[in-house]
């Protein structure tokens, strides 16, 4: 069962006092999205449209006389996340930004029915997009049916007749004025080209899709507060007994600490320097960090399951120290995995995949710290998820706004001075345009022929991917703007 209730029927009551405002705002937001998002690259357009969509949700939630801090707090998150699309040029991060915005806006829409952050649980967040889409589609159908009833009124028929008379007259006069003014003529030609190329068809389809989603979301937000977005919390079934918990945690703790004790030198020392160790530096740096990370993540999940679905039955004094022993061991395993990746980077270079692995380890470590706090007090799985999600969101926002690819490029080019090795292919083709200013900055420090190889590779990549289509103002992106300036200054053809 979902934590989100079914979309209420007419009995719940809807705020029908402002149907015209609802349609007007929905059409405006959908039209704005069709203008700045369709066939456009990520830029400030993502933040602008997300801000407009969130503002509409808060507007119609406020028509019921309340817009609590919980909604304002959650509404600010997708706007901040979407703003990162104007800073980063990484396609991977752009995809994650889009997904994060979808989840945040879906949760915001559902919480307008019962604005409390305590409603946010792992299941609520995981199912929010699908539940919100279903609720929005239902509301759109109802609002459309209501609109057809309104059109049959005498006043609506007068408006329709007025439009039928006015539009042809305006079009005729505009065409006549186009022969006397170059701006009107340019507008006429643009409309003619748009119709002739049929480009308006997919844009109109995109607009209608946005309208269905936005109208339904705003209709849901304007419902009377006679229902809740979350079902009452039910106590979890405690199917894991204290004896089973004790055996499980004791065994896992013993295994982890035995592993750490037997391989202290291997995990935290420099085993390749030990004579006859049989381990090369490459094997030492590469071996096991993925496995250690998986074990750490699975162990955190194991502790959550044990706390949420387990009983203590008088064995709390034994279970709690064992839980902390597992958490401490997992943190040490994460430290080892982090160090392996660090050594591997120092030996073989820095990449986004290795950096993302380190960020993930940091997120898991922060989650374990939050978990330890929950274990020390009264365990609440929903509160644990909210705190861990908040930490993960802050790390993701920091990573998105930080030009980490430029940092990677600098580190790899600085390594060349001591190692004499540089992966030119990854430097010029594996990183996004965000790395170009850093490459241009460090380029003079490279000796020939490496400098010429880097310059040639950059020219080949960006000449092949050059797009002559003029960009609109809402497609502006900081990373791409800086990259274009660096390309013109340092990599222009002689």
Asked if 350 and 436 sit in the same domain, the reply is no
> How buried is residue 379: exposed, middle or buried, by Cβ count under 10 Å (0-12/13-18/19+)?
middle
Quote the pLDDT of residue 50. 97
CB under 8 Å to 232, separation ≥6 — which residues?
A: none
CB atoms within 10 A of CB 342: 15
Radius of gyration of the chain (CA): 29
Both 314 and 292 in one domain: the answer is yes
Distance CA 309, CA 242 (A): 10
415 and 386 assigned to the same domain? no
**Torsional sign, CA 88, 94, 100, 105:** positive
Cα–Cα distances in angstroms (integers) from residue 302 to residues 245, 249, 288, 307, in the given order = 10, 9, 21, 9
Half-sphere exposure of 26 (CA within 13 A, CB side): 27
Q: DSSP assignment, residue 276?
A: T
**Residues 321 and 442 both lie in one domain:** no
State which residues form the domain around 207. Answer: 10-221
Lowest mean pLDDT among 13-22, 82-91, 95-104, 380-389: 13-22
With beta carbons less than 8 A apart as the criterion, state whether 150 and 230 touch.
no
Residues 365 and 418 reside in one and the same domain: no
Do residues 467 and 320 share a domain? no
Task: Specify whether 323 is located in the same domain as 408.
Answer: no
Among the ranges given (181-190, 235-244, 277-286, 326-335), the one the predictor scored with the smallest mean pLDDT: 277-286
Reply yes or no on whether the pLDDT at 60 is more than 60: yes
Q: What's the CA gap between 99 and 107, in Å, rounded?
A: 12
Q: Does residue 437 form part of some domain?
A: yes
Same domain membership, residue 417 and residue 474: yes
Q: Are both 132 and 261 inside the same structural domain?
A: no
Residue 202 within a domain: yes
Of 464 and 121, the one with more pLDDT: 121
At 46, list the tokens: 């993502």
* pLDDT above 50 (res 9): no
Residues 176 and 189 in one domain: yes
pLDDT in tens, 236-257: 677 778 888 888 889 999 998 9
Bond from prior residue into 449 cis (ω within 30 degrees of 0): yes
Among 49-53, 177-181, 197-201, 376-380, name the most confident range: 49-53
Name the residue with higher pLDDT: 207 or 192: 207
Q: What is the count of structural domains for the chain?
A: 3
Write down the residue that tokens 């990599």 correspond to. Answer: 491
Q: What whole-number percentage of the chain has pLDDT above 90?
A: 42
- 165 and 115 together in one domain: yes
Q: Please report whether residue 217 resides in a domain.
A: yes
Q: Is the pLDDT of residue 10 over 60?
A: no
pLDDT digits (tens, 9 = 90+) for 167-205: 788 877 777 777 777 887 887 777 777 666 666 688 889
């Amino acid at each position: 069962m979902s934590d989100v209730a079914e979309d209420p029927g007419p009995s719940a009551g809807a705020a029908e006092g402002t149907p015209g405002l609802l349609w007007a705002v929905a059409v405006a937001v959908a039209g704005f999205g069709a203008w700045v998002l369709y066939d456009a690259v990520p830029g400030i357009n993502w933040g602008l449209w997300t801000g407009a969509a969130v503002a509409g949700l808060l507007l119609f939630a406020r028509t019921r006389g309340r817009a609590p801090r919980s909604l304002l707090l959650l509404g600010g998150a997708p706007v901040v996340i979407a703003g990162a699309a104007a800073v980063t040029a990484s396609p991977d991060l752009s995809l994650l930004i889009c997904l994060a915005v979808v989840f945040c806006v879906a949760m915001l829409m559902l919480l307008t029915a019962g604005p409390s952050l305590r409603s946010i649980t792992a299941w609520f967040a995981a199912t929010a997009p699908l539940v919100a889409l279903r609720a929005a589609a239902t509301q759109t159908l109802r609002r459309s049916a209501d609109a057809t009833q309104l059109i049959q009124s005498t006043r609506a028929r007068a408006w329709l007749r007025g439009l039928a008379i006015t539009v042809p007259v305006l079009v005729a006069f505009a065409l006549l004025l186009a022969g006397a003014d170059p701006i009107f003529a340019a507008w006429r030609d643009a409309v003619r080209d748009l119709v002739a190329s049929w480009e308006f068809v997919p844009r109109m389809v995109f607009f209608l899709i946005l309208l269905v989603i936005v109208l339904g979301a705003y209709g849901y937000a304007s419902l009377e507060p006679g229902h809740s977005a979350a079902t009452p919390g039910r106590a979890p079934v405690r199917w894991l007994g204290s004896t089973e918990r004790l055996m499980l945690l004791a065994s896992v703790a013993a295994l982890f600490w035995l592993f750490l004790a037997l391989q202290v030198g291997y995990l935290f020392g420099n085993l390749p320097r030990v004579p006859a160790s049989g381990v090369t530096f490459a094997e030492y740096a590469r071996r096991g960090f993925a496995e250690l990370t998986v074990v750490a993540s699975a162990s955190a999940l194991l502790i959550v399951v044990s706390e949420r679905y387990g009983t203590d039955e008088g064995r709390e004094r034994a279970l709690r120290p064992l839980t902390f022993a597992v958490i401490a061991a997992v943190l040490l395993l994460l430290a080892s995995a982090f160090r392996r990746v660090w050594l591997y980077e120092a030996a073989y270079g820095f990449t986004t995949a290795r950096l993302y692995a380190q960020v993930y380890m940091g997120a898991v470590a922060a989650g374990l710290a939050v978990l330890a706090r929950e274990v020390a007090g009264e365990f609440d799985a929903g509160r644990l998820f909210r705190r861990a999600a908040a930490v993960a969101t802050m790390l993701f926002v920091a990573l998105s706004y930080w030009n980490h690819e430029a940092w990677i490029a600098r580190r790899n080019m600085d390594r060349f001075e001591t190692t004499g090795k540089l992966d030119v292919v990854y430097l010029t083709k594996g990183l996004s345009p965000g790395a170009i200013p850093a490459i241009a900055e460090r380029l003079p420090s490279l000796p020939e022929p490496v400098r010429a190889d880097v310059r040639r590779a950059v020219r080949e990549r960006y000449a092949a991917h050059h797009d002559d289509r003029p960009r609109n103002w809402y497609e502006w992106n900081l990373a791409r703007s800086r990259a274009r300036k660096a390309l013109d200054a340092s990599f222009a053809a002689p």
